[in-house]
Structure 1
Amino acid sequence: MNAQTIFSIGGMAICGLLVIQLTAFAGRSVQGLLHARKQFRLSQELLRARITAAKRSLVFSDLSTAAWDGFRKFRVKWKTLEANGCHSFYLVPHDGKPLPPYRPGQFLTLSIKAKANERPLVRCYSLSDSPRQDYYRISVKKAVSQDPAVPDGRVSSFLNDHVKEGDILDVKAPSGSFYLDTDSESPVVFLAGGIGVTPVLSMLNYLVETQPNRRAYFFMGARNSTECPFGKHLRQVAAEHDNVVLHTRLSAPKPGDQWDSQGRVDVALLKSVLPTLRLQYYMCGPPAFLDSLTNDLIAAGVPKQMIHSEAFGAASVKKKPKPSTPAPDDENSIVVQFARSGRIITWDPRFETLLELAEANGITIDSGCRAGNCGTCVTAIKSGSVNHEAEVDADEGSCLPCVATPDGHVILDA
Structure 2
Amino acid sequence: MIPAPDAGQLLGLIVAALLLQAVGVAVLAIRQRQRAADRPDPAATDADPDPSTDLRQPLAWPGTRPWRVVARQHEDLAQTQCSFLLEAVDGTPPPSFRPGQFLTFALDLPDARAPGGQRQVTRCYSLSDRPGLPQLRVTIKRVPAPADHPEWPAGLSSNHFHDQVQVGDILQVRAPSGHFHIDEDASVPAVLVAGGIGITPMVSMLGWLITHQPARPVHLYYGLRSRREHAFQAHLQALQASHPALRLHVVYSRPEASDRLGVDHHHEGHVDLALLQRTLPHGRHRFFICGPGAMMGTLVPALRAWGVPDEDIRFEAFGPASVQRPAATATRDASAARLPIRFQRSGRSLVWDGQDASLLDFAERHAVPIESGCRSGGCGTCATRLIDGRVGYDGTPDHDVPAGHCLPCVARPLTALVLEA
- Does the pair score TM above 0.5? yes
Contact 1:190 1:281 in 2 (8 A): yes
Deviation for aligned residue 1:273? 1.1
The match for 1:410 is 417
Matched residue type, 1:313: G
Contact 2:50 2:132 in 1 (8 A): no
CA distance in 2, matches of 1:151, 1:203: 33
The match for 1:69 is 62
- 1:354 equivalent in alignment to 2:397: no
Judge which range, 121-130 or 143-152, deviates more: 143-152
Closer/same/farther in 2, CA of residues 92 and 385 from structure 1, 3 Å limit: same
Deviation for aligned residue 1:288? 1.7
Pairs aligned (count): 340
- 1:263 equivalent in alignment to 2:269: yes
Closer/same/farther in 2, CA of residues 411 and 274 from structure 1, 3 Å limit: same
The match for 2:130 is 130
- 1:289 equivalent in alignment to 2:292: no
Deviation for aligned residue 1:89? 0.3
- Given candidates 100, 106, 111, the residue that maps to 1:111 is 106
Contact 1:218 1:246 in 2 (8 A): yes
Deviation for aligned residue 1:53? 3.2
Deviation for aligned residue 1:100? 1.3
Matched residue type, 1:109: T
Measured against aligned partners, the alpha-carbon deviations of 1:340-392 in whole angstroms (never above 9, x if no partner) come to xxx4712489x9753798986xxxx664235766443233544347799xx78
CA distance in 2, matches of 1:145, 1:392: 35
The match for 1:400 is 407
The match for 1:325 is none
CA distance in 2, matches of 1:222, 1:208: 23
Closer/same/farther in 2, CA of residues 281 and 373 from structure 1, 3 Å limit: farther
SS at match of 2:176: coil
CA distance in 1, matches of 2:405, 2:420: 9
Structure 1: tracts of 5 or more residues without a match:
1-46, 316-332
Question: Please, what TM-score do these two structures have when normalized by structure 1?
Answer: 0.72
CA distance in 2, matches of 1:106, 1:73: 19
Measured against aligned partners, the alpha-carbon deviations of 1:305-338 in whole angstroms (never above 9, x if no partner) come to 10000011289xxxxxxxxxxxxxxxxx966244
Identical-pair percentage: 39
Measured against aligned partners, the alpha-carbon deviations of 1:49-84 in whole angstroms (never above 9, x if no partner) come to 899835465115596457111111111110000122
Contact 2:225 2:255 in 1 (8 A): yes
CA distance in 2, matches of 1:237, 1:156: 28
Contact 1:86 1:140 in 2 (8 A): yes
The match for 1:379 is 384
The match for 2:242 is 240
CA distance in 1, matches of 2:168, 2:109: 17
The match for 1:101 is 96
The match for 1:324 is none
CA distance in 1, matches of 2:87, 2:271: 36
CA distance in 2, matches of 1:382, 1:413: 7
CA distance in 2, matches of 1:149, 1:231: 33
Matched residue type, 2:418: I
Question: Please, what TM-score do these two structures have when normalized by structure 2?
Answer: 0.71
CA distance in 2, matches of 1:124, 1:93: 18
What RMSD in Å do the two structures reach over aligned CA positions? 3.6
The match for 1:203 is 205
SS at match of 1:172: strand
CA distance in 1, matches of 2:306, 2:130: 32
The match for 1:144 is 144
CA distance in 2, matches of 1:357, 1:400: 18
CA distance in 1, matches of 2:317, 2:75: 21
Closer/same/farther in 2, CA of residues 134 and 344 from structure 1, 3 Å limit: closer
CA distance in 1, matches of 2:269, 2:185: 34
The match for 2:159 is 157
Contact 1:188 1:280 in 2 (8 A): yes
CA distance in 1, matches of 2:384, 2:49: 36
